[in-house]
Structure 1
């Protein structure tokens, strides 16, 4: 098991931080196949997440994000890379004037890049398939 603990201060206020965390949870469910539960409180929220090989919580307050994650044996091998990517992405978002908008832009950019990267493979695979056999009518 490998643990990740990341704390980042911010000046977003609870409402903006909440929106960003909630959107992250939506994307984590869709893209990372995580089961996320969002619990909203008066002064803080908690996003609990889990999937095979990883689980944890993201605590959201008016002035900080605190991530605690536990990686299983297989993902634990990649702890340093996973942690550095989370830190890099979170720091880049928090440098922006509107982190939620920056998150959406980054997501769109990633999806466009991913689609372009895989499009040639799909086209090549489709071209390599022989045409479907046609039945001749008598």
Structure 2
């Protein structure tokens, strides 16, 4: 359930930032028509627009990472599980149908990796750049 809430927040964050921009524009526009634009408002609009762009970029990268996770990364084999069968995130046992193997060789639960990819696009153990291998350095 917690991972679903995190994904929902990731999807709604750009809309939240956009609404914040709209609300912060309504009242100042009424004032600007009479007195002009104060410079401190311009900086706040810049920060809000930057936050919207960052939110959309994070959402795009997360969707791309989860797509690669599902389609391009190998499922774990029994040999992988014999060597390493505990997920470092949740400390529970991994199984053949619910885990993925990263290009660096480390194995984790698919749901745990989805949550990790919301923040970073690297292997949590060795810091290997997972996304740069999969999409040609993007």
TM-score, normalised on structure 2?
0.27
- By relative contact order (CA 8 Å, sep 6+), the higher-ranking structure is 1
When you count strand as a share of all residues, which structure comes out higher? 1
TM-score, normalised on structure 1?
0.27
